[in-house]
Structure 1
Amino acid sequence: MTGLYDVSHRHEGAAIAKHPVAKGQPILELRGLQKKYGAVEALKPANITFLSGEIHAIVGENGAGKSTLIKLLTGVIRRTSGEVFWCGDAVQLATPNEAISRGINAVHQEVVLCRHLSVAANMFLGDEMNKNGLMRKRAMTDAAQAVLNDLGFNLPAAALLSDLTIGQQQLVATARAAMRGTQFLIFDEPTAYLTRQESAQLFRLIRRLQAEGVTIVYISHRMEEVFELADRVSVLRDGTHVGTRNIGETNDAELISMMINRTIEQIYHKETLPIGGTIVETRGLSGPGFTDVSLSVRAGEIVGLYGLIGAGRSEFALGLYGRQPVSSGEIVWQGNPVKIRNERVAMDLGIALAPESRRDQGLCLNLPIGMNINLPIFDRLSNGLTINRRRETDNADRQINDLKIKTPTRRVLASAMSGGNQQKIVIGKWLSHGAKLFIFDEPTVGVDVGTKAEIYRLFARLLEQGAGIILISSYLPEVYELSDRLHVFRQGKLVASHTYRSASHEEVLTQAIGV
């Protein structure tokens, strides 16, 4: 069985997953593959061929059909029509177990493992080692640790999954897939929450799997990753497969045009707006994870914070917002010193935070879209103890329409929305609030280029209304192209500051790394 590791406890039928075809020959062929939900075509008849041992990227906007394609290939949903051929034979891929037994696995953007179990238990989930009816926990921990060490993932196998960062949990999911005798491995936005170092580790693993003969399907909104890794790239738009290109025969501009019919210059379009008075200033602010940070934000400007994960950018923002305490320094709000002891104080002043993890910190996933949007302003929508339903409905619908949130109704649960639409809900919540300072922490993680452009236009709307923005991003082109002033963080300190495009990408990155 091909795969990096031989875990003897496999699902029944795993013997199907033998090394199937020669490198460069078709391993999986989709012929007229279609998925309909009633009258809605989530995936229009698609013809795509995946070759054995290749890295095949899939790109497209949110809603283009990428998630539907993943679910079809992994047996989560059944196709409406069309044929699927695995190693030349027609197959159903009717259940996840069938897909796994053939060697088809996926590492999803949102980690779907068990947070209350250890790393080792998650890696062996469904393949547990047993002896005389007892689970061999120590043996599983030792085996899992050996795998993690071999992959170069500096992770403790005995730790609870919940104790790891989202990015580290993603690496655990990747290690689990590598253990399962996979022949065809799908990565869905795998670097969305990874540090630069973790991404490099993942790329080494992907190349290693490819060298072992594994076919990789790589789904990403980050074009630089597609061009670094992929052999070929297929583009989906509005549920349609619009074309496949050899990576050496295409470029960013062509792929973006195929995806959204807009140019790359339109994505990072930046408005030139007058800069107003100072909204907030920090003087020597220090707290957990950051030290002696002095900066200011004026009306009509974007202040970018760039640095590697853990450099202190998000920690500074949480201190400014009152989510964690500051130990020293001063915050001046519109000319007056203030003490922001908690989030309620920050909100009352007019500060809004769209946090890094929208699912864990920015949304109530079990509530409808409309309720999420109105959460900060229910006091304004109430007549005494009674909520005014008309005002509640009107405000939610207005934000849904203005932000182009793709939903049939405000009553749909936030958990059912795509990543890009979830981010719009978070933004809509604070637009309703009417804040003066907006802190956006990694606002476009897992968001396609079309939705990015929409979010950037929302930034312009906020600035036109006299607000200021703090933009935190690990994606250098984003903060570089959008920030009026760019501050570089390293090891908890602000180490450099630049005006718009006054430094090169290389200079900013060097300052962030500290070399």
Structure 2
Amino acid sequence: MTSAALHQHPAPELEPGKVILELRGLEKRYPGTHALKPIDLAFRAGEIHAIVGENGAGKSTLIKLLTGVMPRTSGDVIWEGAPVALATPHEAMALGINAVHQEVVLCRHLTVAANMFLGEENVRYGLLQQRAMVRDAQKIISDLGFNLPAHVVLGGLTIGQQQLIAAARATVRGTKFLIFDEPTAYLTRKEADQLFALIRRLKAEGVTIIYISHRMEEVFELADRVSVLRDGTYVGTRDIKKTDEAELVRMMINRTIEQIYHKDQFPAGRVILETRQLSGKGFENVSMTVREGEIVGLYGLVGAGRSEFVTAVYGRHPKSSGTILWDGKEVNVRSENDAIKLGMALAPESRRDQGLCLNLPVGLNLNLPIYKRISKNLLISGSEEAKHAEQQIAGLRIKTPGRQALASSLSGGNQQKIVIGKWLNHGAKLFIFDEPTVGVDVGTKAEIYRLFSTLLSKGAGIILISSYLPEVYELADTLHVFRRGKLVGTHGFHTASHEDILTEALAEKQEKPGGQI
């Protein structure tokens, strides 16, 4: 079989609207944890069915059961009218069940084409037909509407582009039932539009789509029906045309939308950080201040220069010109260690790649910045280590079996809490949060926002980078807008409309000299 042949979708055997997969009493238990309580739920052929719920609600467990990654404890799965075991991923894929995960699980060191046909390589006389594979992969990718090269190494693409390749790969195996888990977490708006076009195309071909997302606007844009999970329990299913965001939020967390964006007001204190005409790779001439008790929001499209600016402030990348002042004194931040010593903390955008040691325990991750402090004569104090870890686990309500559990075993929201918690142990004065709620449910968002208030009440300052406008609009005391590496607008709390801010982020108008507004 050639690699091109893999892309030929078999016509779905069931008529659209008929039940393709049914769960009857599906349940999963771990020692000491009831991850998924008995659930009855049916999915229809050719529908887009969203599943929403907080981190820890049971969504990830459900995905693993449906894709054969782990066995169920009890219950039945009925596929096209007949019971199936779904004991292995191979069995699930053979039936036509596939998943595109939030974190790309492809091989970064291989080409895009090699990833597309991994396990189904085009081989002739024992030789890999690389040119043919690149040609076939490029045709598939282009036909799907993705303007991406098939011959390059996957690791050379952005995380968002890698996510599109993962979606493309999932379509080459005769998929009938495709699960998307937070697929737009790292996508630009343009990439998300391309993905949505693919999802609608698959639906038109009769493929059943399960769409898991914390972004309600996407659920209402795409889904036909939406089901809610809470604490491992199935709460209910709604026709998307007969519900609204407020109802879904109440079903998910028993709280209102207004309670999520609760913001305490604190008087601005002294200036902690000031930049004057700071320039570096990806940004230029940025001047701003951050005060005690203040949230400074940085908004812009992906690639606007926000992350590049803060990583230069943090010493991860060198500045080319300009000045950084800390507590009113000029400083030369040449490395991350310099920034940490001053009292800066950075929670990076990619928590899995940059913010955590996934193969190490929760407690060790939480204590990483303070091991020197809790050690004496090269020996770590076990009691201090346990005290600080348990303090953050309890204070941040991190859902974990214990501090010895591996960070990789926790949900995305709880992993984000670890990234934040380790810097609370450190006692930083300036916290830089780069997309802190990507892939995080609304309940955990509310907890993170309350944590912001705790930090501010203790005299810290916060820089909040977010591509989600409602987040920075509702939380930032001062909101800076970036476009193409320049600071093009500055606003106080609610002094500009959403439309004004979006116009600044998108429009080509004249910036004021020096980036200072």
TM-score by length of 2: 0.96
Corresponding position: 1:72 with 2:65: yes
2:111 matches 1:118: yes
1:32 aligns with 25
Structure 1 SS opposite 2:464: strand
SS in structure 2 of the partner of residue 8 of structure 1:
helix
1:106-185 → structure 2 map (5 Å cutoff): 106-185=99-178
Query: Is this contact kept in 2: 1:118–1:160, CA < 8 A?
Result: yes
Corresponding residue number in structure 2 for 1:212? 205
1:152-195 deviations in Å (ceiling 9; x for gaps): 22221111111111111111100001111111110000000111
Moved more, 104-113 or 130-139: 130-139
* TM-superposed deviation, 1:148: 1.4
Once the two structures are TM-superposed, the CA of residue 505 in structure 1 deviates from its matched residue by 1.3
Match of 2:350 in 1: 357
Moved over 3 A (4+): none
Matched, 1:264 2:257: yes
Kept in 2: contact 1:9–1:129 (CA 8 A): no
SS of the aligned residue for 2:319 comes to coil
Give the secondary structure class of the aligned counterpart of 2:5.
coil
1:405 correspondence with 2:388: no
Q: What is the correspondence of 1:3-402 to structure 2 with a 5 Å cutoff?
A: 7-8=4-5, 19-38=12-31, 40-402=33-395
CA distance in 2, matches of 1:497, 1:289: 19
Q: Deviations over 1:244-275 (max 9, x none)?
A: 00001111111011001111111110001111
Q: How far did 1:326 drift?
A: 0.2
Q: Structure 1, residues 289-312: CA drift from partner, whole Å, max 9, x if none?
A: 001001110100100001111100
Aligned letter for 2:252? M
Q: Do 1:27 and 1:50's aligned partners in 2 also have CA atoms closer than 8 Å?
A: yes
Tell me how far 1:18 sits from its aligned partner: 5.6
- Partners of 2:456 and 2:215 lie apart in 1 by 26
* Cα shift at 1:20: 1.9
- In 1, the alpha carbon distance for the partners of 2:279 and 2:475 equals 26
Contact 2:178–2:207 under 8 Å retained in 1: yes
**Contact 1:20/1:27 (<8 A) preserved:** no
How far apart, CA to CA, are the structure 1 residues paired with 2:5 and 2:187? 30
CA distance in 2 between counterparts of 1:31 and 1:340 reads 59
Return the letter of the residue paired with 2:311: L
Residues in 2 aligned to 1:40 and 1:443: alpha-carbon distance in whole angstroms: 27
1:439 to partner: Cα distance: 0.3
Aligned to 1:459: 452
The one-letter code of the counterpart of 2:367 is: N
Shift of residue 39, structure 1, vs aligned partner: 5.0
State the AA in 1 paired with 2:502. L
Kept in 1: contact 2:3–2:122 (CA 8 A) = no
CA RMSD of superposed structures (Å) = 1.5
CA distance in 2, matches of 1:312, 1:88: 52
Gaps of 5+ in 2: 509-517
Deviation, structure 1 residue 9: 5.1
Check conservation: 1:187, 1:219, Cα contact below 8 A.
Answer: yes
Contact 2:268 2:292 in 1 (8 A): yes
1:504 equivalent in alignment to 2:501? no
1:432 to 422, 425, 428: 425
Contact 1:7 1:180 in 2 (8 A): no
Determine the C-alpha separation between the residues in 1 that align with 2:388 and 2:86: 44
> Which whole-Å CA distance do the structure 2 matches of 1:193 and 1:351 have between them?
25
Q: Which amino acid aligns with 1:165?
A: T
TM-score by length of 1: 0.96
